[in-house]
A and B are shown apart, each in its own frame.
Chain A
Amino acid sequence: MFDIFKSMLKEEWRMHSNLFGNNGFSLFPVFIFLFTFFVSLVLPIFREIFTYAQIALGMHYFFLLLGSMVGAFGLMGREFMNRRFGQASMIAYSSRTLPVSERLIFANFLVKDVVYYFALYVLPFVAGFALAAALIPAGNFHFPFTLLFLLLTLSLSFMIGLSLVFFLSTIYAHSGKLLTLGLLAGCVFLLSISGNLDSGIFYSLPSLSFFLLSSKSQFLLSSGLIIIPSALSLFFLKVDFPQAKKSFPNSFSRLCGKFGSYRYAAFVAKDFLDLKRSEGGFGKLIFSFLLPAALIWMLLSALGKVLPALNILILISLVLGVLSSSMYNWLTEYDIFTSYAFFPLKVSDMIRNKLNSYLFLNLVPFILLILLTLKKDPAFLLPTLLLFLSISLYMVSILIYLTGLSPSINLYNGRTFAVYTLSVMPLLLVNVILSMFGPYYVLVNLLLVPLALYLLGQSFRKWDRIESPRF
C-alpha cells in the first residue's frame, strides 16, 4: 500500500520536473511563497475595501477551485499526457497490468494528490501569507494561531474540491447522461431558489464557516464532504470512461473557403474547429473568458464607488488585455509541434499561425469593450480600444518569447514565471496610476507596440534555434 503511494509521489514529481525542468519546477513553491508574501504586504489596503470575511471567502473558494482543477486533471488528463509523452502508462491507469485492485490504486492516487499538492500549493501560500501577516497589521489574521487554522481550513477547501470532482467523474464513468441530468437539475434548483438567495449563501461552504466560526459541526460537515464523496467514488469506481465517438461532415473546407486566399486560412480554420469540437466547445469562451470578465467588471464597478479616482473603463480594458492573452494558451493546448515537425514548417511558422488565430479570438474582448464603453461613456472609446490592443499584443509577445508554443507548460517553470510576472506587474501598476490622471495618459502604452513586434521577431529566431528534445 505504502509502496504504491511512494511510487505515485515520485511519478508525479518526475512528471512535473520532466515537463517543467528540474530546477524550474522545484522553484515553483518558492515562487508561490514569495508572490503570496509580497501581495499580502498590501493587505492593509485590501482591508480598506474588503472585510476580513470577504478576504477569507476569496481564499477558500480559490482553494476549492484549485482542488477541483487538480482532481479534473488527474482523472481526465490521460489524453493530455499521451500527447506529451506518447502512450503514457502511469500507475493510476495500470490496474489491468498490476496485481493490485483499481480501488487500492485510486485510494492511493487520491491521498497522493492531497499530500503532493498540499506541499506544492497550500503550504507555500499560507507560509507567504503568514510571514507577511507577522510583519504588517493584518487585522484578524493573527500569527500564529489563526494562520495555522487557515492552513487547516484551506486544506479542507482543497480536499472538498478534489473529492467532489472525483465523485462527479465516477458518476460520469457510469453514465455521462446521468451527470448532465444531475447538473441540469442542480442548476434548475439554484435558479428556482435564486430569488431567496443573498450573498450569505457563499459563506455556507463548510470549510469557510469553520474558519469564521470554528464550530465542531462545521468541521464534521467539511470532513463529511471530503470522506463521503471519496468513499462513494471508491465504492462505485469504474476506470473506463464513456467516450462518444462523433462523426462530422467536412467543415474544414467550408471554413477555408470563407477565408478565401488568406495565408493562414487552413490554420485558423483548424484552430476554430479545435475550439468548437474539444471538451466544453465554445463554452470555454463563456466560462474562461466572458464570465471572469463580467465578474471583474462588477468588482471594478464596486471598486469605482469606493475609489472614485480610478477610471473603470481604462481598468477594464487593461484587465481584458491581460485576460485575452490566456486565449493563446487555449490555442496551443490542442496540438504539439511534434505533429507538424515532419511538414515543411518551422516553429516560427506555427507561432505565426497561432498568432493569427489569437487575433481572430481577440475580436470577442474587442467587441465587448466597444459595447461596455458605448454604454458607460462613448468619449473613452479611442483610449480604451488602443490600450486594450497594446496590452494584449504586449502580453502575448512576452508569453511567446518566454514560453514559445507551450505556455501552459513552460510558465510552470518558477524562473520563467518570475520573469513573466516582473515583465507584466509593474506595467499594470503604472497603468492603474496613469488612469487616475486621465484617459489619454494611457496612450503612452502605444510605445509597447514596437516593443512587442521586436519581441515577436526575437521569439521567432529564439524558438527556431531551440531543438526540442521531444521531436
Chain B
Amino acid sequence: MIEVRNIFKFYGSTKAVNDISFSIGKGELFGLLGPNGSGKTTMIRMLTGQIKPTSGSVRVHGVDVLEDPIRVRELAGIVPEQETPPSFLTAEEYLYFVAKIRKMESYEKTCEKWFEFLDFGDQKNSLCKDLSRGTRQKLMFAQAFLHEPELAIIDEPLINLDPVIQRKVKDFLAGYVKNGGTVFISTHILEIAKQICTSIGIIYKGKLVYTGRLDDPTLQRRNFEDFFLDLVSRPGNSGTGLSIPAQYA
C-alpha cells in the first residue's frame, strides 16, 4: 500500500529526512514513532504529496506521489497535525463542504453517523472557530473517513481527545484495519502505538532507526519504553536530555 525508497528531504543544509526506506502492506496499522522534531510530520507531508522529497521515491496505492499527488489525496483520508477547518463554517457545513470537494453524491447520512459516533452532534451548528481543540480534532477525524478511503494517514490521532473518544477511535481503527483498511499514524506517545499498531518505525533526527512488527520476539522480551529510549539516546544519538536536572535529582 505504501512504498518508500531512499527518500531525503533537505531544508537548506538541514536534513529533515535522511535516506529512509520502508513499506507497509494492506491491512497494516503502522505507527511512526519519534521524539518531537524528529521528522514525522515531514514524512507524512511527503507521503501525501504536500511537499516533495529532495530525492527518492514514494508510491501510495500504486500511485507515484511525485507524479500525481492529487490522486493520492483523492484515495487517502488524511488527518493533519493541526486542526484548521475554515473558521466561519459550522461543523456540519464543513463536513458537507469536504464531501463536495471530494465530489461525493450523497453524504448527509454519513455525516450524521460521524456526529453520533464521535459524540459531537450537539455542536454541529457551531462555527468551527468556536469549537474546542478536541472537537476540532473529532471533526478532522470525521472528514478523513467521510469518503470511506482504503488508506488513512493520521498525524497524532488521539492527542486532544478525551479517554472515552480515544477508546472509540482506537476500536474504530482496529476494526477498520481488520476489514482491509490500512492506517499510517505518526505519534510520540508510545502507549498509543503499543495498543493499536501492528508494526512500527522509529525515526530519530530524520533517520529511521528501527522498523518491525510489534509482535517481534525481540521487542516482546523488552520494556517498550526502554527499547525506544535506548534507540533515541544511544551515544551516537546523544542530546535527548534524559538526565534529571541536578536540583531535582
Contacts and interface: CB of A to CB of B under 8 A. Distances in A.
B85 interface: yes
Contacts of A250: 90, 92-93, 96, 125
Interface of A is mostly: loop
B127 A246 contact: yes
Contacts of A265: 100
Interface in B39-59: 45, 48, 50-52
A248 interface: yes
A121 B45 CA distance: 39
Nearest to A82: B84
B92 A342 contact: no
B93 A251 contact: yes
Contacts of A273: 88-89, 93
B130 interface: yes
Nearest to A249: B125
Contacts of A345: 70, 73, 101
Interface stretch (B30-38, B74-82, B166-174, B204-212): B74-82
Interface of B is mostly: mixed
B129 interface: yes
B22 interface: no
Interface string A289-315: 000000000000000000000000000
A180 interface: no
B73 A334 contact: no
Contact of B126 (A247, A335, A336): A247
Interface size bucket, A side? 35 or more
Nearest to B45: A471
A248 B100 contact: no
A278 interface: yes
A339 interface: yes
B224 interface: no
A83 B84 contact: yes
Interface in A241-290: 243, 245-253, 256, 265-266, 270, 273-274, 276-278
A336 B80 CA distance: 14
Nearest to A244: B130
Contacts of B86: 270, 274, 334-335, 339
Contact of B127 (A86, A248, A256, A471): A248
Interface string B8-37: 000100000000000000000000000000
Contacts of A220: none
A346 interface: yes
A336 B129 CA distance: 14
Contacts of B70: 344-346
Given A270-B86, A343-B73, A247 B98 contact: no
A250 B93 CA distance: 6
Given A252-B93, A334-B88, A467 B52 contact: yes
Interface string A341-360: 11111100000000000000
B87 interface: yes
Contacts of B73: 342-345
B158 to A, nearest CB: 18
A246 B93 contact: no
Interface string B115-140: 00000000001110110000000000
B137 to A, nearest CB: 14
Given A344-B73, A471-B51, A274 B88 contact: yes
Interface residues of B, number: 34
A471 B50 contact: yes
Interface string A8-42: 00000000000000000000000000000000000
B213 interface: no
A377 interface: no
A336 B92 CA distance: 20
A79 interface: yes
B97 interface: yes
- Candidate in B70, B88, B101, B126 with the most chain A CB atoms within 10 angstroms: B88
A86 B82 contact: yes
A126 B96 CA distance: 52
A463 to B, nearest CB: 14
A343 B88 contact: no
B145 to A, nearest CB: 13
A458 interface: no
A334 B97 contact: no
Contacts of A245: 126-127, 130
Interface string A323-346: 000000000001110110111111
A374 B172 CA distance: 64
A344 B89 contact: no
B71 interface: yes
B78 A342 contact: yes
A197 B52 CA distance: 63
A266 B103 CA distance: 10
Contacts of B129: 79
Nearest to B81: A86
Given A270-B89, A342-B48, A342-B50, 13 more contacts: A243-B130, A247-B126, A256-B96, A266-B97, A277-B127, A278-B88, A336-B84, A338-B80, A342-B80, A343-B101, A344-B73, A345-B73, A467-B52
Going nearest first, the 6 A-B pairs with the smallest beta carbon separation are A266-B100, A252-B93, A342-B78, A344-B74, A344-B73, A277-B88
Interface of A: 79, 83, 86, 243, 245-253, 256, 265-266, 270, 273-274, 276-278, 334-336, 338-339, 341-346, 467, 469, 471
25 contacts: A79-B129, A243-B130, A246-B126, A247-B90, A247-B125, A248-B90, A248-B127, A250-B93, A251-B93, A270-B86, A270-B97, A273-B93, A276-B88, A334-B86, A334-B87, A338-B82, A338-B84, A339-B85, A341-B50, A342-B78, A343-B73, A344-B70, A467-B52, A471-B50, A471-B51
